[in-house]
Amino acid sequence: MDKVYVEGMRFYGYHGAFQEETKLGQRFYADVVMEIDTEQAGNTDDLDDTVNYAEVYEAAKEVLEGEPVKLVETLTARTASLILERFAIVDAVTVKVKKPDPPIPGHYDGVAVEIRRERGFEKK
């Protein structure tokens, strides 16, 4: 399966388990990898035969700058679900959401959650 990448998206949201996170907000980064068949788009050179990167960005923005949640896991799962819902051409999606400055002790590059979901995925 072919893959389309939209990487390094940056957002500002009010998510977190601690009160200061939901009050002050913080940065979130997202990478999205969509598994699609790009043969048609490659032959037609028509945007309607693939995913529009700007629309993928807007879907991620809707979640990451939207309703506050406590967990990065929730942000990641909601982003994946929305992409599968909005883009019928996407057979599977991998989403990675990174919180570069979590309010926990230590010096590191942040924390991240990465998930892969495919069309028809149902948790039992």
CATH classification at residue 30: 3.30.1130.10
Domain count, the chain: 1
Instruction: Please indicate, yes or no, if residue 13 is contained in any of the structural domains.
Output: yes
User: Which of 3, 61, 96, 99 is labelled catalytic?
Assistant: 99
Over the stretch 42-95, which tens digit does the pLDDT of each residue have? 999 999 999 999 999 999 999 999 999 999 999 999 999 999 999 999 999 999
Give a yes or no: residue 104 inside a domain. yes
Position 109 scores a pLDDT of: 86
For residue 123, being part of any structural domain is answered with no
Is 3 a catalytic site residue? Answer: no
- The tokens for 124 are 């039992």
Query: Is 32 part of any domain?
Result: yes
pLDDT computed for residue 121 by the predictor? 60
% of the chain exceeding 70 in pLDDT: 97
- Chain segment 11-50, per-residue pLDDT in tens: 999 999 999 999 999 999 999 999 999 999 999 999 999 9
Q: How many CB atoms lie within 10 A of CB 99?
A: 21
In a domain? residue 55: yes
Domain that holds residue 32: 2-118
